[in-house]
Chain A
Amino acid sequence: TQLLEQSPQFLSIQEGENLTVYCNSSSVFSSLQWYRQEPGEGPVLLVTVVTGGEVKKLKRLTFQFGDARKDSSLHITAAQPGDTGLYLCAGLTGNQFYFGTGTSLTVIP
Chain B
Amino acid sequence: GAGVSQTPSNKVTEKGKYVELRCDPISGHTALYWYRQSLGQGPEFLIYFQGTGAADDSGLPNDRFFAVRPEGSVSTLKIQRTERGDSAVYLCASSTGLGGELFFGEGSRLTVL
Residues of A within 8 A of B (CB): 1-2, 4, 6, 30-31, 33, 35, 40-45, 48, 86, 88, 90, 92, 94-102, 104
Please state if A97 and B102 are interface contacts (CB–CB under 8 Å): yes
Q: What is the number of residues of chain B that contact chain A, defined by CB distance less than 8 Å?
A: 26
Please state if A42 and B107 are interface contacts (CB–CB under 8 Å): yes
| B19 close to A (CB within 8 Å) | no
Interchain residue pairs with CB less than 8 A apart (13): A2-B44, A41-B104, A42-B4, A42-B107, A43-B91, A92-B99, A95-B48, A95-B50, A95-B55, A96-B45, A97-B45, A97-B102, A99-B44
Please state if A42 and B104 are interface contacts (CB–CB under 8 Å): yes
Given contacts A2-B44, A43-B102, A48-B101, contact A97 B56 (CB under 8 A): no
**A100 closest partner in B (C-beta):** B42
Knowing that A42-B103, A43-B91, A99-B45 are A-B contacts, what are 18 other residue pairs whose CB atoms are under 8 Å apart, sorted by A's residue number?
A30-B99, A31-B99, A33-B102, A41-B106, A42-B106, A42-B107, A44-B104, A92-B98, A95-B48, A95-B55, A95-B98, A96-B58, A97-B33, A97-B102, A98-B45, A99-B43, A102-B40, A102-B41
